[in-house]
Amino acid sequence: MMADPQKKIPYMEILKRALGLATARKNRFLWWFGFFVALSGITAYFDPLGGKNLLQNMPALPYPRTTPGLMLFFVIALLLIAIGILGRGALIRSLDNLVESKKTAFNDGIDGGKNNFWKIFFISFSLNLFNVAILMILASPVAFLFYGKAFLIGTLLGIIAALILVPLLFLTFFLRTFGYLYAVLGPLSVWNSLENSYELLIRNWRSAIIMSILFIPIYIAALSILVISLVPLALIFIMLGFISFLIVGNAGAAIISTLGIILVFSIVLAIKSALAVFAQAVWLLYFREIAGNDRKEEMEEKESVIETLPVNPMENI
């Protein structure tokens, strides 16, 4: 049954309640789980081959360029991803307990993360594999045409590929978001979580888009806070680095630069941790809202069917 498109979702109430869950003093342990989730994305800042990276304008870092170094890098990357998966499950379980007014603590969340680790892993892995496969399928003919110098046809095909790719990325984002929730809270298998996520999205795609759009000003505000906090910090460290260079030479400047990089990463991770908790709280509350509406509609449909049945089955004979 399709959900009522006119059914109102309390978007602002969801955002306010999520903010309260994320910032309440008694819930500060959730920030650790958000930190775990934020850590899983830290490898995106580095290039293990020593090529271009987001920190290319900063002092050279010891990127691994040998085989043992690469192996160590990928082991660390896998460890951070595992920590992120654990944090995701712990965050979902803890937030749901808080919404249900159940007593919960850090260890309870960790148990929830461990119990659902492999389900979250396989949901993420399967959707990432799907994204890579789709990207390769769509990009291959475009790359072939550009390689053959058929720029006009390649550009047109590239636009068509982008128009196909965007809704598919939208689909996989919500399959992942709802799939995690179904897997942890259901609890359902990986396949059933994805199947239920797809059905839920199809019934509520309009409100899902609106909920996503509401995140845009939130992330813009977070980015603004980050820039405002980093600009004066950068000026301070530039002055300290210059003074250190004049006093003790390159060694002093390197120490100050290293301290500055560590502080920048700490600020970025702190903001990402808080955002991870807030975003997960928003999607959990939104999920409970639309999943609850769907359950109510199914019950109403069943009740209407029962009311149409004859009291005495022999009446129709």
Residue 292 has pLDDT above 60, yes or no: yes
Residue 279, C-beta contacts closer than 8 angstroms, at least 6 positions apart: 215
Q: What pLDDT is stored for residue 4 in this prediction?
A: 46
Please give the Cα distance from 133 to 37 (Å, whole number).
Answer: 25
* pLDDT number for residue 249: 78
pLDDT score, position 231: 86
Q: Write out pLDDT tens, residues 229-248.
A: 888 888 888 888 888 888 87
Res. 55: pLDDT tops 70: no
pLDDT for the residue 64: 52
Residue with token string 């939130």: 218
Q: Residue 54 above 90 pLDDT?
A: no
Q: Is 186 exposed, middle or buried (0-12, 13-18, 19+ CB in 10 A)?
A: middle
The pLDDT confidence band at residue 305, using thresholds 50, 70 and 90, is very low
Q: What pLDDT shows up at residue 69?
A: 73
For residue 112, name the pLDDT band (cuts at 50, 70, 90).
very high
Residue 52 has pLDDT above 70, yes or no: no
pLDDT mean over 117-128: 96
- Asked if 245 contacts 253 with a C-beta cutoff of 8 angstroms, the reply is yes
Q: Indicate the pLDDT class of residue 189, thresholds 50, 70 and 90.
A: very high
Those residues whose C-beta lies under 8 Å from the C-beta of residue 121, and which sit 6 or more positions away, are 85
Q: Is a pLDDT exceeding 90 seen at residue 299?
A: no
Give the span between the Cα atoms of 184 and 121, in whole angstroms. Answer: 12
Q: Is residue 316 pLDDT above 50, yes or no? A: no
CA–CA separation, 304 vs 33, rounded Å?
44
- Give the pLDDT band of residue 13 (cuts 50, 70, 90): very high
What integer pLDDT is reported at residue 65 of this predicted model?
54
Contact 133, 151 (CB under 8 A): no
Residue-level pLDDT at 120? 96
Share of the chain above pLDDT 70, in %: 82
Average pLDDT of the chain, as a whole number = 84
- Measured on CA atoms in the order 70, 72, 75, 81, is the torsion positive or negative? negative
* Predicted pLDDT at 229: 84
pLDDT tens for each residue of 165-177: 999 999 999 999 9
CA 197 to chain centre: 16
Please check the confidence at residue 62 and state whether its pLDDT lies above 60.
no
**pLDDT above 90 covers what percent of the chain?**
60
Q: Is the peptide bond before 62 cis (omega within 30 degrees of 0)?
A: no
The model's confidence at residue 183, banded by pLDDT at 50, 70 and 90, is very high
162 phi-psi bin (left φ>0, alpha ψ -120 to 50, beta other): alpha
**Confidence grade of residue 293 (pLDDT, cut at 50, 70, 90):** low
Amino acid 56: pLDDT: 43
Instruction: Compute the average pLDDT of residues 15-28.
Output: 94
